[in-house]
Structure formats: C-alpha cells, structure tokens
C-alpha cells in the first residue's frame, strides 16, 4: 500500500486515480484503509465480476487504464512502476481476454496497418510497417509515426517474452504455454511465433511438464470460478488437485496457497 500511495501522491495531479475493488464488508474495509493510510477510492463488489472482466487470476491484481479507456498493463500492484506509467506502454493495449493488440497513432494513409495492429495481427502489421519503412522517399513525419508503431509492437513482444520467462523459471507450464500460444496467434510469420509453437509442443511432449500444465489449467479454472462468485466450485477444483494423480506436482502445492487466498477473500 505505501508503494501505491506514493504513486497516487506523485501522479494524482496529472490525472492518475486509483480505485480499489473489494468483496469485503464496508466495516473491515474502512478499518484496513485507515490502518494503511490508503489514498484510493473504494468500490464494493460482492461478486467480484470485474476480476473476470479484466482477466485477473489471483489476489491482489491490478490494471492500469489509459485515458482512452483501455487496459495498458496488468499485474501485481507492487509491480506497477513510475516507468510503466510514464513511458513503457503508451498506446499499447492488453485486452482482458489476453489478446495482444496495439493502438497505434498512424496517418490515415496507413489505416490498414493501424487496423491490423488493433485487431491483434501484430506479425502481419510488423511486416507491413517494415515494408513501408523500406521506402527511401518516405516523408519524415510518416517514418517517425511508423517507427513509433514498430516500437509499440516490439514492446508488446518483449513484455510477453518476459512474462513467459518468469513462468518458465517458476515452472508454471500452463501460464508459459498460454503465453506461447498468444505469441503464435498474434505474431504469425514472425520468428517469435515459430519459436513459441516449438516451445509449447515440447512441453506437451514432456510427461512431467504435461502434468504441471494440466494442474495449472485446473488452477486457472478455479480462479475463474472464484472470480465469478462460485467459491465452492473453485475450492472443490483446488482440493481435487491435492488428492488426484496430480497431487505431486508443484502446481498442486501452489493450489493450496490459491485456496487460502480464495477463503480469505470471503
């Protein structure tokens, strides 16, 4: 909370507003707000349907929304940095569905490229940008706009790669595979897509990793159920990981932590 308070203090005058969403009762929430000196506004949502809308899978989760009303970043609140707010994700959109898209500010003559990026056809969009940049007689203003769009696409690619690297390092093969599938889908024709397809296929062939992948998928299903207000269903899924053939996986151990988080949430 101190970290978020600092961001609010620094960027509040520039339009940065923090809103917390909770399913807790008003009394305990007010007590927490006073104890932590939280400076954010609070919205009470018993069902926490917004978690599903933003694609959150755990607690706490946060999203950074641009002035245009699009989600430009999601993650743990402590991971939101000044750099992210100021520089990194200008114009970049990460939809709640997990779809990778880019909102590029391009001249009307490049409307087809802008549409490709907006739809999530980032591989084709990148090719089109490179083709346009290859024109030696390209006006400086056009070149600047196209290069900026290319940087945005590369920013999406690098951010996704980092997330996958983290998942691989923690042996969360379901999350890593989900990331590879996103790259394969949105960067078709790009070398990153080919590498992603190979990596995902290798995991599916490895018996041990395949079990971790299946266990991770069940955790994701439980988190979605919890976000939809189906707490009993979520806990049943997580409890099942502790007794079935997946009980020896690392994801089964993580399921216990996820279950405790769901129980604490109400």
DSSP string for residues in 25-54: -HHHHHHHHHHHT--SEEEE-TT-HHHHHH
**What's the mean pLDDT in 143-165?**
90
35: preceding bond cis by omega (within 30 degrees): no
**What's the mean pLDDT in 131-136?**
95
**pLDDT value of position 13:** 52
User: pLDDT grade, residue 9 (50/70/90)?
Assistant: confident
**What's the mean pLDDT in 31-58?**
78
**pLDDT value of position 110:** 96
Q: What is the DSSP letter of 64?
A: E
Round to whole Å and give the CA distance between 103 and 122: 11
Average pLDDT over the chain reads 84
Query: Is 0.75 topped by the overall pTM?
Result: no
**What's the mean pLDDT in 196-219?**
93
Q: Of 18-22, 126-130, 198-202, which range is least confident?
A: 18-22
Question: What are the φ/ψ torsions at residue 137 (nearest 5 degrees)?
Answer: -95, 15
Question: What are the φ/ψ torsions at residue 22 (nearest 5 degrees)?
Answer: -140, 155
- Please state which of the four CATH numbers 3.20.20.10, 3.30.750.24, 3.40.30.10, 3.40.50.1980 is assigned to the domain occupying 1-90: 3.40.30.10
Round to whole Å and give the CA distance between 187 and 189: 6
Q: Of 1-5, 79-83, 170-174, which range is least confident?
A: 1-5
Whether residue 213 contacts residue 170, with contact meaning beta carbons closer than 8 Å, is answered with no
**pLDDT value of position 67:** 58
The angle formed by the CA atoms of residues 93, 95 and 101, to the nearest 5 degrees, is 45
**pLDDT value of position 242:** 87
**pLDDT value of position 163:** 85
Nearest to residue 126, comparing CAs of 191, 200, 72?
191
**pLDDT value of position 162:** 87
pLDDT value at 36 more than 80: no
């Amino acid at each position: 909370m101190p970290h978020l308070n600092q961001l609010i203090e620094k960027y509040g005058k520039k339009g940065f507003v923090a809103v917390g969403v909770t399913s807790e009762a008003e009394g305990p929430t007010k007590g927490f707000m006073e104890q932590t000196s939280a400076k954010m506004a609070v919205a009470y949502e018993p069902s926490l349907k917004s978690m599903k809308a933003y694609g959150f899978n755990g607690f706490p989760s946060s999203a950074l929304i641009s002035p245009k009303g699009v989600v430009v970043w999601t993650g743990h609140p402590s991971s939101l940095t000044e750099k992210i707010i100021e520089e990194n994700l200008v114009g970049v959109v990460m939809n709640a569905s997990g779809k990778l898209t880019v909102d590029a500010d391009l001249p009307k003559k490049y409307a087809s490229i802008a549409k490709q990026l907006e739809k999530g056809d980032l591989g084709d969009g990148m090719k089109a940008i490179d083709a346009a940049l290859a024109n030696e007689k390209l006006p400086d203003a056009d070149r600047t706009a196209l290069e900026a769009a290319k940087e945005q696409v590369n920013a999406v690619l690098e951010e996704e790669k980092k997330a996958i690297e983290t998942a691989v390092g923690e042996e969360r093969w379901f999350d890593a595979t989900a990331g590879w599938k996103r790259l394969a889908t949105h960067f078709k024709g790009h070398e990153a897509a080919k590498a992603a397809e190979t990596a995902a296929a290798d995991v599916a062939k490895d018996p041990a990793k395949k079990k971790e992948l299946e266990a991770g998928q069940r955790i994701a299903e439980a988190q979605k159920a919890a976000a939809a207000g189906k707490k009993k269903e979520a806990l049943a899924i997580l409890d099942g990981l502790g007794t079935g053939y997946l009980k020896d996986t690392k994801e089964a151990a993580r399921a216990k932590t996820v279950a405790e988080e769901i129980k604490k949430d109400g």
